């Protein structure tokens, strides 16, 4: 699909080409008309002169005094011809015609007529025919000139004008391209700002833009504000829901300890209450890890992991965990909240089941993507369970307690970015390890 810039350039260039072609044909027509009008003028002058040079021979024949003839009319096949008609009959032809005649006829006195006719050897001849009365006789003279020479001059002049028009057309197209680029530059600025919004460097489109695209920019800004507000409302609602569940959850725990209930009902209540509690704790930990930073499409992994490790060390301070991490100090093209949710779930699971040690590693991979590794020295899971995890690839909350919590969310995030996630046993520490590859983004 062509861009707007290309379509404008092609469209305007086509219009300019049509305009210049029209100008060239107009110029060609003008040159032809001027040349033929000039020829008619000279032929008319010759016909006037020839009418004055008519004489009568002793035999009573009408002829033209050859003293009035230009040399071109005396030279055979010179392309300049004369025919004299008296009372409608041809009485004289110029030596240039030889034994041939022109396909013409006499005209009435007082009439001057222009005509293009067939001449000797099939060539076109431009003629002027003029009638008069001389010695009570109707006299008509036809003077003609072949168009070959004048057509060659017209062609030469037209080609000369074409050599001027073509560079002018090219220069006009180049100027048009420059003007279009200058006029579309604000759109490039809007594109850069949208890229900055996607990268999290800014929150709205700013600056002056042409009036034609101002409504579009305003609508985009309104949409961005609406999305940001809804995102914030959604996260606030999740936090409020987690707080609201705490009180009913405490009631469920008290009911589970009621000795009047059958043991199987108390066990069922405890299982369901524990599941709700785990989810609430996860949401609280996510909120503590995410903090109040601004959502953005670029994330500094080292800075965020460093803050997250401090939060995890505080949450699990009774376990005195050794949480080590290694991450590049650079921005990666992924949403901050998504990365915090992804790393927060993985690291929280690792800390929950680790004995003493948790390792978090992030490194760049080919194509601008990243590789994430989170491992612990906890009990991990059996090879059979790893196989089940890989086969199901869905929510693991029901598969095994602890490790599955939040992994389904992680998988959704990884799939959203077009990445891959591998769950297995850590080769060195023996616990669970999760490795994620996220591709680069433009």
* CATH class of domain segment(s) 4-151: alpha beta
Is residue 296 scored above 80 in pLDDT?
A: no
**Fold annotation for 296-442:** Heat Shock Protein 90 (3.30.565)
Is residue 294 scored above 60 in pLDDT?
A: no
| Contact residues for 287 (Cβ-Cβ < 8 A; gap 6+) | 239, 242
Q: Return the pLDDT at 326.
A: 92
Lowest mean pLDDT among 108-122, 166-180, 259-273, 317-331: 259-273
Is residue 95 scored above 50 in pLDDT?
A: yes
Is residue 135 scored above 90 in pLDDT?
A: no
* 376-385 tens-digit pLDDT: 998 887 767 7
Question: Measured between alpha carbons, how far is 313 from 318 in angstroms, rounded to an integer?
Answer: 9
Is residue 20 scored above 70 in pLDDT?
A: yes
Is residue 60 scored above 80 in pLDDT?
A: no
Place of tokens 């096949």: 77
Q: Return the pLDDT at 436.
A: 93
Is residue 360 scored above 90 in pLDDT?
A: yes
Q: Return the pLDDT at 284.
A: 61
Is residue 163 scored above 80 in pLDDT?
A: yes
Work out the pLDDT band at 345, boundaries 50, 70, 90: confident
Pairing of strands 357-364, 322-326: parallel
Is residue 172 scored above 60 in pLDDT?
A: yes
Q: Return the pLDDT at 46.
A: 83
Percent of the chain with pLDDT over 70: 87
Across 85-94, 194-203, 221-230, 390-399, the highest mean pLDDT is recorded for 85-94
Q: Return the bridge partners of 244, or none.
A: none
Q: Return the pLDDT at 375.
A: 92
Q: Return the bridge partners of 148, or none.
A: none
Lowest mean pLDDT among 281-285, 389-393, 406-410: 389-393
């Amino acid at each position: 699909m062509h861009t707007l810039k290309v379509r404008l350039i092609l469209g305007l260039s086509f219009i300019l080409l049509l305009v210049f072609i029209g100008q060239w044909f107009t110029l060609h027509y003008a040159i032809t008309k001027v040349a033929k009008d000039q020829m008619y003028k000279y032929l008319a002058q010759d016909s006037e002169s020839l009418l004055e040079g008519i004489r009568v021979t002793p035999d009573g024949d009408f002829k033209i005094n050859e003293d009035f003839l230009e040399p071109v009319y005396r030279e055979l096949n010179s392309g300049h011809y004369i025919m004299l008609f008296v009372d409608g009959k041809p009485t004289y032809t110029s030596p240039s015609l030889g034994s041939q005649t022109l396909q013409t006829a006499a005209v009435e006195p007082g009439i001057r007529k222009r005509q293009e006719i067939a001449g000797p050897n099939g060539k076109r001849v431009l003629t002027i025919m003029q009638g008069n009365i001389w010695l009570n006789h109707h006299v008509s003279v036809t003077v003609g000139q072949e168009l070959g020479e004048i057509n060659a001059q017209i062609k030469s002049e037209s080609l000369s004008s074409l050599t001027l028009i073509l560079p002018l057309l090219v220069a006009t197209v180049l100027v048009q391209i420059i003007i279009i680029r200058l006029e579309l530059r604000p759109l490039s600025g809007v594109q850069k700002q949208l890229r900055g919004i996607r990268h999290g460097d800014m929150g709205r489109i700013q600056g002056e833009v042409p009036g034609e695209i101002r409504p579009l920019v305003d609508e985009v800004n309104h949409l961005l504000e609406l999305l940001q507000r809804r995102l914030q409302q959604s996260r606030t609602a999740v936090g409020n829901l987690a707080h609201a569940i705490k009180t009913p959850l405490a009631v469920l725990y008290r009911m589970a300890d009621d000795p009047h209930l059958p043991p199987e009902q108390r066990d069922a209540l405890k299982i369901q209450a524990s599941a709700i509690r785990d989810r609430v704790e996860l949401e609280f930990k996510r909120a503590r890890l995410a903090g109040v930073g601004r959502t953005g499409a670029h994330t500094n992994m080292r800075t965020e992991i460093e803050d997250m490790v401090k939060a995890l060390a505080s949450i699990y301070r009774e376990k005195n965990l050794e949480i080590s991490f290694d991450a590049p100090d650079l921005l990666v093209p992924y949403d901050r909240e998504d990365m915090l949710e992804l790393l927060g779930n993985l690291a929280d699971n690792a800390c929950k089941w680790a004995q003493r040690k948790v390792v978090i590693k992030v490194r760049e991979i080919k194509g601008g993507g990243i590789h994430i590794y989170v491992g612990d020295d906890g009990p991990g899971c059996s090879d059979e369970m790893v196989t089940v995890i890989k086969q199901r690839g869905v929510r693991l909350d029901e598969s095994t307690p602890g490790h599955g919590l939040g992994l389904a969310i992680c998988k959704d995030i990884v799939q959203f970015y077009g990445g891959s996630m591998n769950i297995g046993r850590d080769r060195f520490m023996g616990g669970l390890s999760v490795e994620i590859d996220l591709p680069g983004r433009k």
